[in-house]
């Protein structure tokens, strides 16, 4: 059985969309500083590209979470593997994620971060799979809404591989 990646969104399409989101965030937060919170590892490529295109002052922090219980669907209860270095109090926080799928992880994480008292809290995701939503999550900035397919690239992995692809693709087995 061979494995190949079919392109869903080209590098150019992704770049142009990130540029547009960067401009939108720069307008929305005019006169303020934004604090980008990256959810590792998937959100890292998107956050770096996005940060370069934001023209208001930017600070960044990183966290890593893992969902309790195995299996392919997340339970929603998450464990902090690496916490943020800085407090969030008084900051205009934007959580930057690779993808919102069932919404379980994000819904739990956003509640947890809200308790830390940020001035504002928004969610920015490169990809959204709305058909898969189980828990309601308010997404403030979405790169692309995509169909229910397992995608890789731009930070997203299949068995820890393909994160480095500069485009979004679907793994096909033939």
Cα separation, 63 vs 43, whole angstroms = 10
Asked if 103 touches Mg ion (CB under 5 A), the answer is no
Asked if 98 touches Mg ion (CB under 5 A), the answer is yes
Task: State the catalytic residue, choosing from 28, 61, 101, 174.
Answer: 101
Residue from 51, 156, 165, 168 touching ligand IMP (CB under 6 A): that is: 156
Residue 60, number of CB atoms within 10 A of its CB: 15
Cα separation, 112 vs 131, whole angstroms = 25
Tell which residue, 80, 81, 29, 82, has the closest CA to residue 59: 29
Asked if 22 touches ligand IMP (CB under 6 A), the answer is no
Residue (54 or 98) nearer to Mg ion, CB: 98
Positions 82 through 121 that interact with ligand IMP (CB under 6 A): 97-106
Assign 3-class secondary structure to 50-88.
HHHCCCCCEEEEEEEEEECCCCCCCCCCEEEEECCCCCC
Q: Catalytic: 101?
A: yes
Residues forming the site for ligand IMP (CB under 6 A) = 42, 74, 97-106, 150-151, 156
Q: Which residue numbers are catalytic?
A: 101
Residues forming the site for Mg ion (CB under 5 A) = 42, 98
């Amino acid at each position: 059985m061979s494995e190949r990646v079919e392109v869903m969104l080209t590098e150019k399409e992704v770049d142009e969309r990130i540029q547009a989101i960067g401009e939108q965030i720069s307008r929305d937060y005019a006169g303020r500083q934004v604090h980008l919170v990256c959810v590792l590892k998937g959100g890292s490529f998107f956050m770096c590209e996005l940060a370069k295109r934001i023209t208001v002052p930017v600070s960044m922090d990183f966290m890593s979470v893992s969902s309790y219980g195995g299996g392919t669907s997340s339970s929603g209860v998450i464990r902090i593997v690496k916490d943020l270095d800085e407090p969030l109090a008084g900051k205009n926080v934007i959580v930057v994620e690779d993808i919102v799928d069932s919404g379980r992880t994000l819904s739990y994480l956003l509640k947890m971060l809200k308790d830390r008292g940020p001035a504002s809290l928004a969610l920015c995701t490169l990809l959204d799979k709305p058909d898969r939503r189980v828990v309601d999550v308010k997404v403030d900035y979405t790169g692309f809404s995509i169909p229910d397919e397992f995608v890789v690239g731009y930070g997203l992995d299949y068995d820890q591989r393909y994160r480095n692809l500069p485009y979004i693709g679907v793994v096909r087995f033939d």
